[in-house]
Each structure stands twice: as structure tokens, then as C-alpha cells.
Amino acid sequence: EIVLTQSPATLSLSPGERATLSCGASESVSIRYLAWYQHKPGLAPRLLIYDVSARATGIPDRFSGSGSGTDFTLTISRLEPEDFAVYYCQQYGGSFVTFGGGTKVEIK
Amino acid sequence: QVQLQESGPGLVKPSQTLSLTCTVSGGSISSGDYYWSWIRQSPEKGLEWIGNIKYSGRTDYNPSLKSRLTISADTSKNQFSLKLTSVAAADTAIYFCARERAGYCSSTRCQGWFDPWGQGTLVTVSS
């Protein structure tokens, strides 16, 4: 089982600032099999990024993904008010799918 | 636009069977490109993939749940379902259904990303 560790647990930022979220894997994630999601309480999680860096349909270009091997990053270039939420990474190249523990992006 | 909605009891007694259904609208579960998945979220374990099914009936389960789990599909109703037997307090969670797009296939299984998700249903295991 590939364990994903997200850091930091909480990120306190102001609208307009840049957010950098990290996702570390316990072993190398095959090729490009990593996704990112945004989740707000009571709502369905929303796919942002798949295959490390491909934006899902309708996702603004202020969201970008990068990384390889065991280290991956989600960057939000300029935070909008609607971006304050919890973000999860997920890998799909191991023996089965696993998720990270999440990073909460909160308003400073 | 595909939408998913979970339904089922919100309270299950310990040792009993948890049963949930996911109704899909705006698209067919018989589409060959997708798998149909269950995921749960608890404070203790975070997000945990439970398992999936393809319209052909092929299933894939999380090894930690496999002995208690059955996922099935009813293409005539455009629904898929989850049954988890012998539940305990550790099975208390928000249960999500989701459409899974295969991004990686080995000789035995396909796995991928989830889009869209249902909004989830809370199931509490308690007497």
C-alpha cells in the first residue's frame, strides 16, 4: 500500500496569495498516476487534477499540479474566496488506490 | 452531466449489514469507459477506497474489506450497491459513490481518478 502524506496540515493565507500544497508518497508512484481534489463540507469532492498535471474539465488555470516519483505539488497561483477548502491527493498506480490525509487552506 | 446520489439507512446496529445504493443520472453505468466506485471518509482513517464495479460485473475490492464486502450493479435501474457485513463502530463514516476513470491498468485491474462524486451519506454504526 502506498501511503500519501500531505503537508502542511493547515495553510493560513489571504485571498490573492499563492498556495503551495505538498503530497509525499512512501514509494514511487508509477509514472503519472496522481490526482488532486477539493472538498468543502457537505458537498461532493471535486476533481481538480489527474495524471499529476492535467486539469479536469472546467478547472481554472490558477490550479496547477507538478511532481514525480515520491514528491508532488498542487499550486494555486492566486487564491480566490471560493478556494478555501480541504485538498486531497490520491494515487492510482499502486496495488490499490489510496488518499492523503488532506491540507486545509483557511483564510488568514 | 452525470450526477450520483447515495441512499440508505443512516444507522446500522453492530454485527449487522450496511447496505447503500448509488443512483446515477445523466449517464449510463453501462458505459464501457468507466468503473463505479465506493469511497468512505472517517476521522480515524481519512478517505478510504472501498471498491468498484464495471458494468460487466467485474469487481475490485480493498483487501482490508474484501471478506465482508459485496458490490453489485443493476443496469436496468442505473444503480450500483454496496453491502458490508458484520459492521462495527470502525465502519462509521461518510460513504461516497463516484465514477472512476481508468488511468492505469495492470494485468488484473484498472485504477484511476474519481469524477464526479456524490455528496455522501453518513452511516453510523451504533446499538
pLDDT at B103: 84
pLDDT at A31: 67
Report whether pLDDT(B53) > 70: yes
> What's the CA gap between B41 and B15, in Å, rounded?
20
Q: At B66, is the secondary structure helix, strand, or coil?
A: helix
Whether the CB of A54 is below 8 Å from some CB of chain B: the reply is no
> What's the CA gap between A78 and A104, in Å, rounded?
16
Residues 6+ apart with CB under 8 A from A35: A47, A48, A49, A50, A51, A89, A90, A91, A92, B113, B114
> What's the CA gap between B124 and B92, in Å, rounded?
5
Residue of A nearest to B3 (CA): A44
Whether the CB of B42 is below 8 Å from some CB of chain A: the reply is no
Report whether pLDDT(B104) > 90: no
Mutation for testing the B interface, residue in A6, A97, A103, A104 having most B CBs under 10 Å: A97
108 residues of chain A, pLDDT tens digit each: 899 999 999 999 999 999 999 999 998 777 689 999 999 999 999 999 999 999 999 999 999 999 998 999 999 999 999 999 999 999 998 888 999 999 999 999
Residues B9-35 pLDDT 10s? 999 999 999 999 999 999 999 977 799
Q: Which residues of A touch B63 (CB under 8 A)?
A: 95-96
**Could you give the percent of chain B with pLDDT greater than 70?**
100
